């Protein structure tokens, strides 16, 4: 690039810096700030830009400054402990035991006297060595006194010997050292070639920022635009944005609706009846255990609806009722069913929904999407609450093959390539099924979610007739983790603002 082009690309501030350097050729940023009447950081920024264009270069000078620590300033005033002790011993040996009571900082004094070879201790008595007798006021004290000033002292004021002493005092923590780097800016030879072009570039009236005034007074007509280096980096903005989990939930809702499903809603805090009993889980079933389920202290229990349906559920548990089943053969306790808990699956919504239907409403397809709760100790891979999306298809003639059909569509919708359905077990489904994905890196199948056809013992007591119901309850955290390259489930819910601002948009 020739000097003229560079001149045109210079920002107003760069131009000012360059002109300020036209006289002396070198100046500190502080001096430049004075000369250009720009703030110091504006000068630094402008100098940086100018340097990338080769019109200025930097020189850096490091200067050292020394000042006393609190301990150092005490000694500067009242003398070093070892010197004070030495002065005392000039008058003759002393017993250490006695010194202990009268002499301040005795241990420090003793340590340094011994290190300097100034004194001997024998039988608890200390006396000066020959060397100790002849040392006078040392250079150490001169240095301490020189530093005993309100502002730090430049290293330039000290001799080479004194600098050695200073370094020792820094080690002894009586003195602190600060380094300051002063940057001065120098015009380069190329910069000098650019200098004469500045006038003509300036007279051409270069616009940095187009303003409403320029548009009103039409001054832009006589001006040219400063050329930018468009490849220079610019920062990103912090967007207003949906949480990525929330974006995925929107997608899953749309997915089910497009397949013709209607949304069902329900409560988080639920009767055990809806979470367990209506799903034909016997009351002593391990899944109802305290270890997995949050039961409520307040409100402790609810009211079972006094209905035919309730009686049918009871009968089915006890003896199979008219479902054709043997039942679990135990005595069903309404109080256990009335106990409140936090739903452990959104399948509670599915049975709630079935109980609201009449045979005239069939066939029907429903989905839900919501949080469920497990009584877990939270760590990186376990959460006490997470999302699930349940689906049911209810109607005469729906089959096991249909269930595979819907779940295949769901897996493909979420971008899973290799999957299979194997037998599983849930007390409330038969056939029961586990959907598994193939994890190539590990060379094994990973369980993703359960599905099945509700047992007649679940369906008939709720709706009054035996009709097939397909049901599934996938979580999707694992798939979101994979998609967002998040390694632990907890990271999905930490709400790290940085992560939320950066996380990719769910564009499906």
Partner 1 sequence: MPVIEVNLEDFRELLGREVSIEELQDRLPMMGTSWEGVTEDGFHLEVFPNRPDLLSIEGLVRAYANWTGARTGLRRYPVEKSDYKVVVDKKTQEVRPWFVTAVVKNVEFDDPLIRSIIQMQEKLHVTHGRRRRKVAIGLHSLEPIEFPVTYTTKPPEFKFRPLGERFEKDLTWILGEMKTGKEYAWTVEGFKEYPMILDRKGMVLSMPPIINGEYTRIDELTTELFVDVTGTDLKAITEVLNVICVTLADRGAEIHEVHNHYPDGKVLTTPSLDPWVMELDNDYVNHTLGSEFTPKESARELEKMGHGTEVKGNVIKVKIPSYRADIMHPIDLVEDIAIGYDYDNFEPEIPPISSEAGEDPLEVFSRGLRNFLVGLGLLEVVTFMMSNRDKLFHRMSLPEEPICETDNPKMEAYDSLRNRLLPGLMEVLSTNKHHQYPQNLYEVDDVVVIDPSTETGARSRRRLAIALCHSSASFSEIKATMNTILENLELQAEVVEGGWDCFIEGRRFTAVLEGKPICWAGEVKPEVLERWDLEMPVAALEMDVNLLFKAHVG
Residues 188-247 that bind partner 1 (CB under 8 A): 238-243, 245-246
Of 19 and 432, the one with the shorter C-beta distance to partner 1 is 432
Class of residue 391 by CB neighbours under 10 A (exposed 0-12, middle 13-18, buried 19+) = buried
Of 82 and 477, the one with the shorter C-beta distance to partner 1 is 477
DSSP state of 387: E
Between CA 110 and CA 81 the distance in angstroms is: 9
Of 191 and 427, the one with the shorter C-beta distance to partner 1 is 427
DSSP state of 242: -
Print the SS3 string covering 72-110.
Answer: HHHHHHHCCHHHHHHHHHCCCCEEHHHHHHHCCCHHHHH
The helix (H) or strand (E) run that includes residue 270 is strand 269-271
Residues near 88 by beta carbon (within 8 Å), at least 6 away in sequence? 94, 103
Other beta carbons within 10 angstroms of residue 348's beta carbon come to 26
129 interacts with partner 1 by CB under 8 A? no
Stretch of 12-20, 44-52, 63-71, 487-495 lying at the interface with partner 1 (CB under 8 A): 487-495
For 318, half-sphere exposure in the C-beta direction (CA atoms, 13 angstrom radius) is 11
DSSP state of 237: P
Between CA 223 and CA 207 the distance in angstroms is: 6
Question: What Rg value do the Cα atoms of the chain yield, rounded?
Answer: 42
Nearest approach in angstroms of CB 255 to partner 1 is 11
Of 32 and 355, the one with the shorter C-beta distance to partner 1 is 355
Interface pick for partner 1 out of 450, 468, 473, 475 (rule CB under 8 A): 468
Nearest approach in angstroms of CB 249 to partner 1 is 9
406 interacts with partner 1 by CB under 8 A? yes
| Contact (Cβ atoms closer than 8 angstroms) between residue 344 and residue 293 | yes
Angstrom CA distances, 402 to 23, 94, 208, stand at 87, 104, 67
DSSP state of 220: G
Stretch of 8-16, 131-139, 307-315, 397-405 lying at the interface with partner 1 (CB under 8 A): 397-405
Structure tokens at 130: 């020959």
98 interacts with partner 1 by CB under 8 A? no
Give the pairing type, strands 206-207 and 224-225. Answer: parallel
Give the pairing type, strands 262-263 and 269-271. Answer: unpaired
Interface pick for partner 1 out of 79, 385, 464, 484 (rule CB under 8 A): 385
**What is the footprint of partner 1 within residues 37-76 (CB under 8 A)?**
none
Structure tokens at 298: 């307040």
**What is the footprint of partner 1 within residues 269-288 (CB under 8 A)?**
269-271, 284, 286
376 interacts with partner 1 by CB under 8 A? yes
Structure tokens at 190: 């190329």
**What is the footprint of partner 1 within residues 419-458 (CB under 8 A)?**
420-425, 427, 430-434, 436, 444-445, 447, 453, 455-457
Interface pick for partner 1 out of 172, 192, 408, 478 (rule CB under 8 A): 408
Interface pick for partner 1 out of 114, 172, 202, 253 (rule CB under 8 A): 253
| Contact (Cβ atoms closer than 8 angstroms) between residue 151 and residue 116 | no
Give the contact letters, 355-374, x = binds to partner 1 (CB under 8 A), - = no.
--------xxx-----x-x-
Nearest approach in angstroms of CB 453 to partner 1 is 7
DSSP state of 307: S
Count of residues interacting with partner 1 (CB under 8 A): 101
Nearest approach in angstroms of CB 369 to partner 1 is 9
78 interacts with partner 1 by CB under 8 A? no
**What is the footprint of partner 1 within residues 289-328 (CB under 8 A)?**
290, 294-303, 305, 320, 323-327
Nearest approach in angstroms of CB 308 to partner 1 is 17
Stretch of 3-11, 41-49, 473-481, 497-505 lying at the interface with partner 1 (CB under 8 A): 497-505
Query: What single string gives the DSSP state of each residue in 439-496?
Result: ETTTTEEEEEEEEEEE-HHHHHHHHSS---EEEE--B-HHHHHHHTT--SGGGGGS--
Between CA 323 and CA 321 the distance in angstroms is: 6
Give the contact letters, 336-355, x = binds to partner 1 (CB under 8 A), - = no.
----x-x-------------
Q: What are the beta bridge partners of residue 500? A: none
Nearest approach in angstroms of CB 48 to partner 1 is 23
Of 15 and 314, the one with the shorter C-beta distance to partner 1 is 314
Nearest approach in angstroms of CB 232 to partner 1 is 21
Give the contact letters, 161-180, x = binds to partner 1 (CB under 8 A), - = no.
--------------------
Of 19 and 283, the one with the shorter C-beta distance to partner 1 is 283
Other beta carbons within 10 angstroms of residue 275's beta carbon come to 26
Stretch of 195-203, 211-219, 394-402, 471-479 lying at the interface with partner 1 (CB under 8 A): 394-402
Interface pick for partner 1 out of 7, 38, 393, 414 (rule CB under 8 A): 393
| Contact (Cβ atoms closer than 8 angstroms) between residue 175 and residue 55 | no
Of 117 and 359, the one with the shorter C-beta distance to partner 1 is 359
């Amino acid at each position: 690039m020739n000097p003229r082009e560079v001149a045109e690309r210079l920002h107003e501030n760069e131009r000012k810096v360059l002109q300020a350097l036209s006289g002396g050729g070198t100046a500190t940023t502080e001096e430049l700030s004075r000369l250009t009447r720009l703030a110091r950081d504006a000068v630094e920024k402008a100098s940086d830009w100018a340097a990338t264009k080769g019109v200025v270069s930097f020189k850096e000078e490091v200067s050292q400054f020394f000042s006393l620590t609190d301990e150092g300033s005490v000694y500067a005033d009242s003398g070093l402990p070892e010197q004070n002790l030495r002065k005392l011993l000039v008058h003759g040996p002393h017993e250490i035991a006695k010194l202990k009571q009268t002499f301040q900082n005795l241990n420090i004094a003793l340590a340094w006297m011994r290190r300097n070879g100034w004194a001997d201790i024998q039988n608890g008595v200390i006396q000066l060595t020959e060397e100790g007798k002849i040392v006078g006021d040392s250079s150490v004290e001169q240095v301490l006194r020189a530093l005993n000033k309100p502002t730090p002292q430049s290293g330039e004021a000290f001799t080479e010997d004194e600098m050695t002493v200073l370094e020792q005092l820094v080690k002894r923590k009586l003195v602190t050292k600060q380094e300051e780097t002063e940057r001065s800016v120098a015009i380069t030879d190329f910069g000098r070639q650019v200098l004469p072009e500045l006038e003509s570039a300036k007279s051409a009236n270069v616009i940095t920022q187009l303003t409403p005034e320029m548009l009103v007074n039409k001054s832009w007509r006589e001006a040219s635009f400063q050329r930018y280096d468009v490849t220079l980096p610019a920062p990103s903005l912090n967007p207003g944005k949906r949480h990525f989990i929330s974006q995925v939930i929107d997608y899953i809702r749309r997915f089910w609706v497009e397949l013709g499903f209607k949304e069902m809603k329900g409560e988080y805090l639920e009767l055990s009846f809806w979470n367990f009993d209506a799903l034909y889980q016997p009351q002593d079933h391990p899944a109802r255990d305290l270890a997995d389920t949050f039961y409520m202290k307040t409100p402790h229990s609810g009211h079972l609806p006094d209905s035919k349906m309730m009686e049918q559920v009871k009968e089915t548990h006890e003896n199979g009722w008219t479902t054709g089943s043997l039942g679990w053969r135990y005595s069903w306790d309404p109080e256990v069913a009335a106990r409140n808990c936090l739903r452990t699956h959104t399948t509670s919504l599915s049975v709630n929904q079935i109980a609201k239907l009449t045979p005239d409403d069939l066939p029907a397809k429903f989905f839900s999407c919501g949080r469920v709760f497990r009584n877990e100790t939270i760590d990186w891979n376990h959460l006490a609450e997470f999302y699930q999306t349940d689906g049911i298809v209810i109607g005469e003639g729906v089959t096991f093959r249909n269930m595979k059909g819907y779940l295949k569509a769901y897996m493909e919708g979420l971008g899973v390539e290799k999957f299979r359905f194997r037998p599983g077990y849930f007390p409330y489904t038969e056939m029961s099924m586990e959907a598994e994905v193939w994890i190539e890196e590990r060379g094994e199948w990973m369980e993703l979610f359960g599905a099945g056809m509700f047992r007649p013992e679940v369906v008939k007591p709720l709706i009054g007739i035996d009709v097939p119901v397909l049901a599934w309850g996938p979580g999707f955290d694992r798939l979101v983790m994979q998609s967002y390259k998040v390694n632990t489930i907890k990271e999905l819910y930490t709400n790290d603002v940085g992560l939320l601002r950066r996380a990719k948009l769910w564009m499906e």
